[in-house]
Structure 1
Amino acid sequence: MTLQDKLKRLPTTPGIYLMKDTHGDVIYVGKAKNLKQRVRSYFQKNQQHSKKVQRMIFNIADLEVRLVETELDALLLECRLIQEIHPHYNRIMNYYQNYCYVDFSAAKMQLTPTPTTMSFGPFRQYKKLPQILSILAETYLLPSTNRVTQQMIRQQLPEVETIPLATRFSNCRSFFAGKETTFFTLLNQRIAYSANQQNFEHAQLLKEQLELCQHFYHYIKQRTDFCQQQQLLLKIPLTEEKQKIYFIAYGQIIKTEILKNEQPVVFPPGDFSSQPLEKADVDPLDILRSYYTQHH
């Protein structure tokens, strides 16, 4: 069957699609709520296609689709296949091996590729994470802070040096655990000081840093809370009469079941427990958590 024949026969149901080159290698994996609409959009003239997409389309020689029951199934299957195959044109979820941990085991705060008993994570290794560590370190005047920054922080937060160093590290650990921390109070004090000194440019920079840290901290709290839930139910309609039930415990799908709408839903028995997150778990967990939050 030719590629054009496959495009004509695409269903309008959820699924994932695997684009292949002339050698049969998968060069891109995507997901769709409506396979026909999504896949055929690649082959329609569209000036909004990026150069990367245009190059990919030029190299497509074959197509494979896999049907699933729901959009969530498509999202999770897409993630798993990207992690397994590492297609050339996929960027998101393709480099989970590079995710890292924030480690405190050597009496300092640093990023490490492997976990220890004093580390938090794993987190995506993206450009903002080193910046967050730097903001925390300078706000708490950790030993790694350079002398120029130390003088500035002493003016903005003269009381910080009176706080025991162990307590300052403890507040940094609380940040990455999603627990209560004095960090945001201190950072707001720094903003107020700069504004009072009419150094509005620096105050604005600190506000941007505050927003960055708040966003990341909020993500940690949401992820931690989701992973602590013992029993969650997600119901996704399939037809007017049936729905698919996802039984979730400690951030993982432990069972799925298709039931009629009027059938009772009973959480399966079992001794489920929280497990340490691995790097490969981060993206599937975020997909499940985000979908649950949006559709629960």
Structure 2
Amino acid sequence: MSINLPDKVKNLPLTPGIYLMKDSQNQILYVGKAKNLKNRVQSYFRNSKHHSPKIKKLVKHLRDFDYILTDTEFEAFMLECQLIQNMKPLYNRMMKSPQSFIYISINLTGKYRKIDIAFNPIEKDGKVYFGPFTSRSNVEGALRGLKECFKLNCSNPNGTNSACLNYSLGSCLGRCLGGPAEQQYNDILDRFIGFLKGTDRSILEDMNQMMLNASEAFDFETASAYRDQIQTVSSLLNKEKVIEFTEESHNIVAIERLTDSTIKLFLIKRTEILFSHSYAAAGNIEEKIKTNILAYFKQDEANTDGDVSRHEIDAAHIIYRYLHSGSCSYLIISDNWLDPENHSTLDLALKNLLNNPQHFQPPIYHE
């Protein structure tokens, strides 16, 4: 029996959720999320001339779709992430590069060091790796900014003790000539490694001083270039914060208001929603929330700290963005609060979270 897709789309609700595109064999071709299901799914059937070739191909094979409603856009994001990981639909894989995670690699072996990007780190290969990062363009822009700022663009990296073309153009500090410039180059890379590890910010301090010097000399074009380079290099550290935060495996209570009379509770550990439930905003609900916190956040649970896997990265970014979006109020639960002797502290924190949500969004990290 043929399904009338336009009519089915018209009956979709204007609420958040997940849609699952299917072919004639009832196989899931694509999983997507939406803040507004009806508008999002309708977009596949109009303005086709603006669609990418992959979207056009998807629509051509589309014969039906299912959908799952969620209370919030955050839940739709998380459910989409989970379903894609479990189902691995064809078009989700086609629309996401297999090299979607990127690393910075610095070769520490041999006389001549090299900074580059990598997609698959290799253990014990003489290189140090940083990442993973999810945006190739951001990483490439940051490395380009670093090289331009500190004149690391040597076009003769193997060293023949003769000046390379970039040296004559002023974009190489002279590493190709050997001697002091070679040691200077290595020192800069050592400081950059310290920057990526979070132990040395002198790279940024020097870049800021270069920007200030250019500005004081009324060379505003150069100062603007330095400013852009500082932003791209700084973005590497910001990306790492998402990974660092996830590795710490916090116990997180997040509350989002659905309506004037309803709130949604999420209990989150690392990259997993352990529990979610809707409550009437009126009345004393602190005790109900506290009961769930004590049930799902265990003091004696196995330590889940450790490196964030590739499968967790997408969920980690979703959670991190959600906590900083202003859509919710959140609270990080200390392990000590789970001790019966400290339940009064937990009670007070929950009361503040529920009664003053707009003021109770403690920053996760301070700059």
Does the C-alpha gap of structure 1 residues 236 and 49 become closer, same or farther in structure 2, counting only changes over 3 Å? Answer: farther
Q: Given the alignment of the two structures, is residue 112 of structure 1 paired with residue 118 of structure 2, yes or no?
A: yes
Partner of 2:50: 50
* Residue 68 of structure 2: aligned partner: 66
Q: Once the two structures are superposed, what CA deviation does each residue of 1:17-67 show, in whole Å capped at 9, x if it has no partner?
A: 122344555444321233234323544x5x597232566545532212133
Task: Provide closer, same or farther for how the CA distance between residues 277 and 140 of structure 1 changes in structure 2, counting only shifts above 3 A.
Answer: farther
C-alpha offsets along residues 183-220 of structure 1, whole Å, 9 cap, x if unaligned?
11222333345556766544433332222223333332
1:24-103 to structure 2, matched below 5 A, reads 24-43=26-45, 47=47, 50-52=50-52, 56-83=58-85, 84-87=88-91, 91=95, 94-95=96-97, 97-103=99-105
CA contact 1:14–1:74 (8 Å) conserved in 2:
yes
The 3-state SS of whatever aligns with 2:67 is strand
Aligned length: 286
TM-score, normalised with respect to structure 2: 0.63
Unaligned runs of 5+ in 2: 157-163, 175-179, 330-367
SS at match of 1:264: helix
User: Contact (CA 8 Å) 1:56, 1:89: kept in 2 or not?
Assistant: no
- Paired residues of 1:238 and 1:244 also in contact (CA < 8 A): no
Of 198, 210, 215, the residue aligned with 2:235 is 215
Aligned to 1:189: 209
Q: C-alpha separation between the residues in 2 aligned to 1:16 and 1:179?
A: 42
Matching residue within 213, 227, 232 for 2:252: 232
CA RMSD of aligned residues (A): 3.8
**Residues 101, 210 of structure 1: CA spacing in aligned structure 2 closer, same or farther, 3 A cutoff?**
same
2:159 corresponds in structure 1 to none
Give 1:152 deviation, angstroms. Answer: 5.3
Q: Give the match for residue 123 of structure 1.
A: 133
> Are 2:252 and 1:246 equivalent residues in the alignment?
no
Match 1:7 to one of 9, 19, 24:
9
Check whether the contact 2:242–2:316 (CA below 8 A) recurs between aligned residues. no
Give, as a single letter, the amino acid of the residue that structure 1 aligns with 2:69.
Answer: L
What stretches of structure 1 of length at least 5 have no aligned partner? none
Corresponding residue of 1:135: 145
| CA separation of 1:105 and 1:197: change in aligned 2, threshold 3 A | same
Q: CA deviation at 1:243?
A: 2.7
Aligned mates of 1:7, 1:143 — CA distance in 2: 54
For 1:133, give the aligned amino acid.
L
Aligned in 2, Cα 1:30/1:48: closer, same or farther, shift over 3 Å?
same
User: Is contact 1:100–1:113 with CA below 8 Å preserved after alignment?
Assistant: yes
TM-score by length of structure 1 reads 0.75
Q: For residues 129 and 105 of structure 1, do their structure 2 counterparts lie closer, same or farther at Cα, with a shift above 3 Å needed?
A: same
- Which residue identity does 1:112 align to in structure 2? A
* Counterpart-to-counterpart distance in 2, 1:282 and 1:255: 18
Q: Describe the SS at the equivalent of 2:266.
A: strand
- Report if aligned partners of 1:99, 1:113 keep a CA contact under 8 Å in 2: yes
Distance change >3 Å, CA 48–CA 212, structure 1 → 2: farther
Aligned partner (choices 296, 309, 315) of residue 278 of structure 1: 309
Q: Distance in 1 between matches of 2:188 and 2:213?
A: 20
Offset at residue 89 of structure 1 (A) = 9.0
CA 1:40–1:100 in structure 2 vs 1: closer, same or farther (change >3 Å)? closer
Q: Distance in 2 between matches of 1:82 and 1:8?
A: 26
Partner of 1:289: 320
Q: Which has the higher contact order (CA 8 A, sep 6+)?
A: 1
Whether contact under 8 Å (1:178, 1:218) holds in the other structure is no
